[in-house]
Structure 1
Amino acid sequence: MAGAKTRTGTRPEVGERPAPQETEGTVMALDLPPSPDLSPEMQAYFDKCREKIGFVPNVLLAYAHDSAKLEAFATLYNDLMLAPSGLSKLEREMIAVAVSSVNRCYYCLTAHGAAVRGLSGDPVLGEMMAMNYRAADLSRRHRAMLDFAVALTEAPWTIEEEDREALRDAGFSERDLWDIAAVASFFNMSNRMASAVDMRPNRTYHGEARALPGLDEA
């Protein structure tokens, strides 16, 4: 159109940009500093964490105000998540994230979402576990496993023999059934504790294992 002015430049930004989210240094909302009297075993455990992953997970620092509670938590966690089992470490982490998704647990979704991404090498799977595991292309085994864990989370009183039989039909042993239930139950407890005290995940977790396989790095 004759006489029309050409618009140049970029469109001015509208709205308000959120402030950068900084959580480093914040462990939880309660003022309970780590005990100076941690046992030698727990001190060694913290040193092992620093050696293997570069930091001490904040969940351990949150429990560290009471050495006995810290030892009990760490012992149970390591038994459920790391000890020999018919469930792989990745499968146990998938349960942790699916349960934490139902409970909307910021800490556990962040920390264990990173574990799923790292163990699977698939950041897409990690996002699906965190947002809606039903969106993922899962095997019969994994779908049955997560269906049971989520049912146990959402309505534990409805679990009956039919639910256990679905796991057996998917190839799980009786011991596997116990382990699925134990991991799901542990994370229901952990989710509630983390939410109750506003536990904050270490910042490192947010960026771990995010690269998509097969894509050239920019």
Structure 2
Amino acid sequence: MSQKPISRFPVPTLDELPDDIRGKLLEVQEKAGFVPNVFLTLAHRPDEFRAFVAYHDALMLRESGLSKGEKEMIIVATSGANRCLYCVVAHGAILRIYEKAPLLADQIAVNHHKADISPRQRAMLDFAMKVCLDSASIGEADFKALAGHGFSEEDIWDIGAITALFGLSNRMANLTSMRPNDEFYLMGRVPREPKPAKA
């Protein structure tokens, strides 16, 4: 079986990229051991790459009442609803690592009501799925339900904004036929190989 391309659109080489984007990709490669295909795919349009990464980082790296794992739960659940292979596979890997739970991402991607999560997290994902699938029907009762689980107004903004940002990401991944890196499939499922000691 031949390897499919990572995108149906042209994918630039590192040498073709502007310095700031090449630097970002090399930084990610140093940390992860590979360059996630989402970066290479979106780098086809450098200005949009910069805008997407800036919003992603502003939202995902800010201090929040949501843990890193909970943010990934939102991405995996809503990406499953949007049938985004790339985001389910890639963010499922990140979720497994953050939560140290090899089975959790698969559960959440298919049906978060059957997943091994807390009632608070289930309420969070119920709201995220409503933002994802029926945002026009969101009302005061939805905010009260989340407040009853200890979520602040800012936390609720985070839940909705993460869902919305990855709604964009899911659609771009499907548009471009973005292929998940093979590395993602086993991350968080099997022990990671130790890095060789530097001489």
- Name the amino acid aligned to 2:129: V
- Name the amino acid aligned to 1:78: D
1:48 is matched with 27
Is 1:161 matched up with 2:140? yes
Q: 158, 175, 195: which is aligned to 2:174? A: 195
Is 1:147 matched up with 2:126? yes
Q: Give structure 2 stretches of 5+ with no counterpart.
A: 192-199
- Name the amino acid aligned to 1:103: N
Q: Give structure 1 stretches of 5+ with no counterpart.
A: 1-18, 213-218
- Cα distance in 2, alignment partners of residues 144 and 171 from structure 1: 11
Q: CA RMSD in A?
A: 1.8
Q: How many residues align?
A: 191
1:110 is matched with 89
Question: Please, what TM-score do these two structures have when normalized by structure 1?
Answer: 0.82
Q: CA deviation at 1:22?
A: 4.1
1:171 is matched with 150
- Cα distance in 2, alignment partners of residues 195 and 34 from structure 1: 22
1:31 is matched with 10
Larger radius of gyration, structure 1 or 2? 1
- Cα distance in 1, alignment partners of residues 51 and 8 from structure 2: 22
Q: 50, 59, 77: which is aligned to 2:56? A: 77
- Cα distance in 2, alignment partners of residues 120 and 128 from structure 1: 13
1:63 is matched with 42
- Name the amino acid aligned to 2:19: P
Per-residue Cα deviation, 1:62-90 (whole angstroms, up to 9, x for no partner): 11122111111111111222222221111
- Cα distance in 2, alignment partners of residues 174 and 34 from structure 1: 43
2:106 is matched with 127
Question: Please, what TM-score do these two structures have when normalized by structure 2?
Answer: 0.89
Secondary structure in 2 aligned to 1:155? helix
2:76 is matched with 97
2:196 is matched with none
Q: CA deviation at 1:40?
A: 2.7
2:197 is matched with none
Per-residue Cα deviation, 1:2-50 (whole angstroms, up to 9, x for no partner): xxxxxxxxxxxxxxxxx6x845xx2211235358553332222111111
Deviation beyond 4 Å, 4+ runs, structure 1: 34-37
